[in-house]
Amino acid sequence: MGTRDQILDAAAEIMRTRGVIHATTKEIAKAAGYSEAALYKHFSDKEELILDVLKHRMPGPAENPPVPGQSSVEENLAAIARGALSFYQQSLPLLGGLLAQPQRMAAHRDSMRRHGAGPGHAIAGIAAYLSAEQELGRVNADIDVHTVAALLDGACFHQAFLRYYDAGPDATPAPDTLATAMANTIVQPLLA
């Protein structure tokens, strides 16, 4: 395992247990066994480190997007829901503290935009998948795919929040039955 991976692992653990706000680059570098200067050889700033932790240590639904036309729409939406539930449940403790600090949140938001990331990208990805299925005739042409994508993503975020709220960072992962139930409920009006 290389330096970058060791830093990402240390950052993920510290951010998961202490939150982004309280995780310093100095503390992360020390936990990885490196100097802070070594950390900055691999990451331009803390925001890039946060983004890489989210991308590479907490992969979400964009990691393995479904292929339009393959499997059923229901199975594909269930796979998206499983990924989103897992991602949100893992990332809530990481990012929760940002909400309490408006200036820090603004800096994080600006950085995510610069890096082409942020919460709206999940919805856009789901909508793009559904739009492609519309073009194949597998999803009703009258459906507003952006609204459906927002409903699915929002339900996943809310369920992850409830699990975290109920049991904290050690909450068990959401069961597959939850992702399947969400997909079943959403897919019925979608099908052409």
93 and 7 both lie in a single domain:
no
Return d(Cα 155, Cα 149) in angstroms, integer: 10
Q: What is the CATH number of the domain that holds 17?
A: 1.10.10.60
Residue 192: pLDDT band (50, 70, 90) is: low
Last residue of a domain, one of 10, 38, 57: 57
**Total tally of structural domains belonging to the chain:** 2
Last residue of a domain, one of 21, 41, 57: 57
86 and 4 both lie in a single domain:
no
Percent over 90 (pLDDT), the chain: 52
Return d(Cα 140, Cα 130) in angstroms, integer: 10
- Cα angle: 55, vertex 11, 81; to 5 degrees: 35
Domain encompassing residue 150: 59-192
Please list the helix, strand and coil fractions of the chain in percent, rounded to the nearest 5, in that order. 70, 0, 30
Residue 92 phi/psi, 5-degree rounding, is -55, -50
Q: What is the CATH number of the domain that holds 179?
A: 1.10.357.10
pTM, rounded to two decimals: 0.82
Convert the pLDDT of each residue in 146-183 to its tens digit. Answer: 999 999 999 999 999 999 899 987 889 999 999 999 99
85 and 50 both lie in a single domain:
no
The 8-class DSSP code of residue 66 comes to: P
20 and 93 both lie in a single domain:
no
- Cα angle: 51, vertex 118, 182; to 5 degrees: 110
100 and 161 both lie in a single domain:
yes
189 and 119 both lie in a single domain:
yes
Convert the pLDDT of each residue in 82-94 to its tens digit. Answer: 999 988 888 887 7
